[in-house]
Amino acid sequence: MADVVQYRLERMVDELDDLESRGIFTRREIAEIVKQRRKFEYRLKRPSPLKQDFIAYIDYETQLDALRRLRKKAATRELLRQGKKKTKTRKSVSDFAPVSRIMEIYRLAVMRYKGDVELWFRYLEFCRQRKNGRMKKVLAQVIRFHPKLPGVWIYAAAWEFDHNLNVAAARALMQSGLRMCPNSEDLWVEYLRMELTYLNKLKARKVALGEDKGTLVRDKKDADEKQWKEENKDLFMSLDDEDKENNDHVSDEESEKKLDLFSEHASGLLKTVYSGAIQALPSSFSLRKQFLEILESIEVADSEELRSEILRDMKRDFSADPEYWDWLARLEMSDASITGEKNEDAMHSRLQMAVQVYEEAIEAVPSATMFKLYINFLLDAIASERGEVEAFSLSDHASSYISDILKVYEKAETTGCLTEELACQCISFYTQLGRLEEAKKVAENLCSGKLLDSVQLWLLRVSVEIRCITKDSLSSSKADALSIFELFRTVLTKMSISEAESLWIMALKFFANQKKSFEKLIELSLKAVAKYGGSENGFSLSSAVVNFILQKDGLKHAREVYKRFLALPHPGLALYKNCIELESNLASLGNEDSLVNTRKLYEAALATYDQDTSLWKDYHSVETKLGTSETAAAIYWRARKSLKDSAVDFTSPDQL
């Protein structure tokens, strides 16, 4: 290894001597360069060099070469400042060696890590930037190692097309890529773009030679100007004789024929590539969209016929896909922006056409996704008209959009496509409109139907009910509070504690300051815990109730309530831990009663959860801090006896 490294360093002597003789680096700097290179060379000669070793070496050499070039320019400016004439000097070995060395490191790296595509592309980019002659060889190697990677073929074809101006080679690469990767959307699209770009360049060349006019690229400004001139041709009548007019007419016809040749060629090319693409990728919706976008950006013969054909094919193949219908409807609006229809009535008529597409869609594809896309479209229309969805004090058009949205929600319900998400969205929409009574009725109907078990829907219903009774005053009457409590009772008795977590929290907050209702809620929670059992971890209803009472009524009342929960058959480990934390915090402040209660709670918990190691550790920790050494040791030996094999981790009471 040392011999190989020494040999490679000796080959750098001429370069380093040249750098010193030209005054670019000092002898001390050159010594540091040699030191760094030796370190990198040893890394590369290890049995298994890392990719990062190669990258670090390349980065170092790149920065060193950048510094060399800066110093060379500074030396040249200094000579000019001294009055010496600038002479064109021949490049020396130090000008060529850095690039050659970096290329060699890249070669070693990619041969070591052939499967690293990112490394290959770094290598290619370096060759391209430095205009190195090895570019073609590297491209061939990448294609050989990664023939199934579409990006490699696109990169190689782009280099041949843009750098070498070799259209035949670029076309051959693209076609080879399509044979190797026929399922790549990017390859099909880029191949079409390349061929159309080539045609456009040929057209531009004709224009530059004065043999033709215009390009294949669609220019809306020119089209509008031409249309205006045709409509106002009387303003441009020539004052000369009619022969000149006839000659101009003939020349225009000839130019149109020439233009048609390119347009027809582009049209035929697009048809050929399109047919091949849909044959290779019949289920790709995005590919069809990209072809249509390309068609609309250029001028080709029979463009309308081509557009209609693509749209017919899309409807035939994707009529069962909600995404297709959503795209088709939004295409109506995008067509309005392309044609420049910006006045309100034109945009409204376009939007009505889009609505008709959605109406056809929900008949063809009655699904929750389709209804959701339809509603989102109408919400976007309102947002664009008013600036934000909440601003509903409204124009006539926005009011019609709102009525359309409400009708869509009704259709979704009647067709059985109303999901939990759409139902919640519907109720929220009513509340945004300020129509709380209607929101209340809709929520009531939905909660009594097939969405009876939806927690989010019940949350919305309860929140709407609360807003209805508190909209005129901050406090609610006894009758209103009773109706809200009965609503909570209805849903909380149907659902398990884990499912109705958010509803329990809402109920505790709402009735916190209503003594009688809160006491009823405690009784309801006791029944729920008795029915479903307490939680071992996660949300604990009993702990939440105890914490609410502790904040509201103090410690004494909290103790009374948690004792009632602990008297139930399965209060849950989470409640024990919560109560232990409450009492131990007070015990650490010197409260003797709390220490007694803490021990009772630990003993009660260990009677059920005697295999819980963390519980034994916590108990021992409390006794160590607040009890005596005898009580702590007693807990340790009890833990050893109870845990048996698990106690192997504990070697002494201090480590328990």
pLDDT confidence of residue 75 = 83
pLDDT confidence of residue 433 = 86
Determine contact, residues 492/524, Cβ cutoff 8 Å.
yes
Rounded CA separation 539/502 (Å):
10
Per-residue tokens: 232: 């106002």
Tens digits of per-residue pLDDT, 134-186? 899 999 999 999 999 999 999 999 999 999 899 999 999 999 999 999 999 99
The secondary structure element, H or E, covering residue 309 is: helix 303-318
Report residue 526: phi and psi, to 5°: -60, -40
Torsion (CA) 377, 379, 383, 384 in degrees, nearest 10: 20
Interior/surface letters 30-64, b for 16+ CB within 10 angstroms, e for the rest: beebeeebeebbeebeeeebeeebbeebbebbeeb
Please report the DSSP string for 27-74 in residue order.
HHHHHHHHHHHHHHHHHHTSSS--HHHHHHHHHHHHHHHHHHHHHHHH
Report residue 92: phi and psi, to 5°: -110, -175
Tens digits of per-residue pLDDT, 468-486? 887 766 566 778 888 888 8
Residue 213 has pLDDT above 50, yes or no: yes
pLDDT confidence of residue 228 = 44
Work out the percent of the chain whose per-residue pLDDT is above 70: 85
DSSP designation for 89: P
3-class SS at 469?
A: helix
Q: Hey, what amino acid is at 168?
A: A
Report residue 298: phi and psi, to 5°: -130, 165
Residue 67 has pLDDT above 90, yes or no: yes
Determine contact, residues 586/594, Cβ cutoff 8 Å.
yes
β-bridge mates for residue 217, sequence order: 298
β-bridge mates for residue 298, sequence order: 217
pLDDT confidence of residue 645 = 58
**Domain ranges within the chain, ordered by starting residue:** 1-79+91-112
CA 373 to chain centre: 19
Residue holding tokens 């399965």?
Answer: 570
* Most distant CA pair in the chain, distance: 126
What is the overall mean pLDDT for the chain? Answer: 84
pLDDT confidence of residue 390 = 44
pLDDT confidence of residue 478 = 79
Q: Hey, what amino acid is at 386?
A: R
Rounded CA separation 200/356 (Å):
38
Higher per-residue pLDDT: 46 or 252: 46
For CA atoms 383, 385, 391, 397, the dihedral sign is: negative
Assign 91 a pLDDT band (cuts: 50, 70, 90): confident
Tens digits of per-residue pLDDT, 348-400? 788 888 889 999 999 998 999 999 999 999 888 887 765 544 444 455 667 77
Tens digits of per-residue pLDDT, 269-288? 999 999 999 999 999 999 99
pTM: 0.73
DSSP designation for 418: -
Q: What is the arithmetic mean of pLDDT over 635-651?
A: 72
Determine contact, residues 102/61, Cβ cutoff 8 Å.
yes
Rounded CA separation 159/637 (Å):
78
Lowest mean pLDDT among 200-209, 304-313, 337-346, 522-531: 337-346
Determine contact, residues 325/357, Cβ cutoff 8 Å.
yes
3-class SS at 391?
A: coil
Assign 342 a pLDDT band (cuts: 50, 70, 90): low
Tens digits of per-residue pLDDT, 488-499? 898 888 888 888
Report residue 61: phi and psi, to 5°: -65, -35
Rounded CA separation 245/225 (Å):
20
For CA atoms 621, 622, 624, 628, the dihedral sign is: negative
